[in-house]
Amino acid sequence: MAGNNAVAYKSPGKVEVIDIDYPTFELKDGPGVNPANVGRKVPHGVILKTVATNICGSDQHMVRGRTTAPPDLVLGHEITGEVVETGPDVEFLQVGDLVSVPFNIACGRCRNCKERKTGICLNVNPDRPGSAYGYVDMGGWVGGQANYVLVPYADFNCLKFPDKDQALEKIMDLTMLSDIFPTGFHGAVTAGVGVGSTVYVAGAGPVGLAAATGALLLGAAVVIVGDMNADRLKQAASFGCETVDLTQGGPAEQIEQILGEPLVDCGVDAVGFEAKGHGAGASEAPATVLNSLMDITAAGGALGIPGLYVTGDPGGVDEAAKKGSLSLSLGTGWAKSLSFTTGQCPVMKYNRQLMMAILHDRVSIAKNVNAKAISLEDAPRGYAEFDSGAASKYVLNPNGYIKN
């Protein structure tokens, strides 16, 4: 049986590559596994040999100790892989197929899945709607930052690439289909971006850059990206975005210099619950982004909120923030008739269309997010560099499929 190494959370600020069991078609007990899921049979699953698996900003929240993730939780919800085993109930996938795996696990059978709300499947997490690989409070499905990973409900969840050789040539782009490209695109779609829109994206990390890419793909006239990190702002500018340096203060005045007015049609929050205030040396103030977006989005507009917000944050700035209770100016949103869309992106709503855009050279998401491939053993360095603000999206290459 093949060995299986994986990236695991150990303690705040620390990840390690550890040995774990090779997957089987049954969910075993382990760190973070919901007791009600232990022993769950997965005849509808496949085992993948991982082709690419990415470090995500959502992983960083756990690694910083900002969630209740237990030690030795295997990380990784952005998975692309080759099928090496199929369960007895799998009909349409075969050994050798190359597939993208949505980060949200969905059964395909419940009411929400049938309504394309795959981010809030009712059957995969005993505690609440919605699940994901390698994530705290998501049912305990083992993460994919490993040599091998189990994918349940595989006929439904897996997006098969039509041409394996072509897919391997474009793997650095296609690996983004598991999460950040659909997530950023979802942020732009739910913010109402269309032809001629003016758009403000808060956050120039990978999801923010993916949202900016999505906004351009949707026909936006102007996409403005705000951040405090100069290197990340340069990355946004590299593919045609305007930028706002939030160390200089709030976004409204700088937006006015760009557009002639301090308002945009559409706003996207790609920051989430670890947001800081505006200005040099600003401290954490988790409602800042949402409140500023309400201020600068035109009346009747919409906010797409793919940035992560949690119900349990041990490192929250106050007791309310530790429970996910933020001081929102909801009156502003109400008075301006703004719409809000939150929650996990339903990846399958978008991933096939975005795959086609990649395969037919309509978009270069890997270039836009500055994707860099590193080995699985190098994951601790990738996590540290990403946490320090590197303007890169780190792609782990556990089995040598990616040729640098």
Per the structure, the complete domain to which residue 229 belongs is given by 184-341
Question: In 3-state terms, what secondary structure has residue 353?
Answer: helix
> Which portions of the chain are predicted below pLDDT 70?
1, 404
Q: Do 281 and 210 reside in the same domain of the chain?
A: yes
Question: Both 151 and 54 in a single domain?
Answer: yes
CATH of the domain at 20: 3.90.180.10
Gyration radius of the chain over CA positions: 20
* Structural domain total, the chain: 2
The pLDDT of residue 286 is 87
Dist CA 371 CA 106 (whole Å): 27
Residue 83, token pair as written in the block = 């099928």
pLDDT of residue 1: 60
Give yes or no: residues 137 and 69 share one domain.
yes
Report the distance separating Cα 130 and Cα 126, nearest Å: 9
Q: Are residues 12 and 94 in the same domain?
A: yes
Q: What is the 3-state secondary structure (H, E, C) of 100-130?
A: EECCECCCCCCHHHHCCCHHHCCCCCCCCCC
Is residue 29 exposed (0-12), middle (13-18) or buried (19+ Cβ within 10 Å)? exposed
pLDDT tens-digit profile of 272-324? Answer: 988 999 998 888 888 999 999 999 999 999 999 999 998 888 888 889 888 88
- Considering the domain architecture, whether residues 103 and 132 belong to the same structural domain is answered as yes
Q: Are residues 263 and 197 in the same domain?
A: yes
Domain termination site, one of 305, 321, 341: 341
> What pLDDT, on a 0 to 100 scale, did the predictor assign at position 323?
86
Residues in the chain: 404
Pairing of strands 242-245, 222-227: parallel
The region that residue 277 occupies, defined by phi over 0 for left and psi between -120 and 50 for alpha, beta otherwise, is beta
Residue 209 and residue 115 in contact, taking contact as beta carbons nearer than 8 Å: no
Single-letter amino acid code for the residue at 92: F
Alpha carbon distance 149, 376 (integer Å): 14
Neighbours of 240 (CB within 10 A): 12
DSSP state of 132: B
> Cα–Cα distance between 38 and 26 in angstroms, integer?
8
**Domain ends where: 341, 371, 386?**
341
Same domain, residue pair 139 and 219: no
Quote the DSSP letter at residue 247: G
Residues 13 and 144 placed together within one structural domain of the fold:
yes
What is the model's pTM? 0.96
Assess whether 323 and 193 both reside in one domain.
yes
φ and ψ of 8, to 5 deg: -125, 145
DSSP letter at 317 equals S
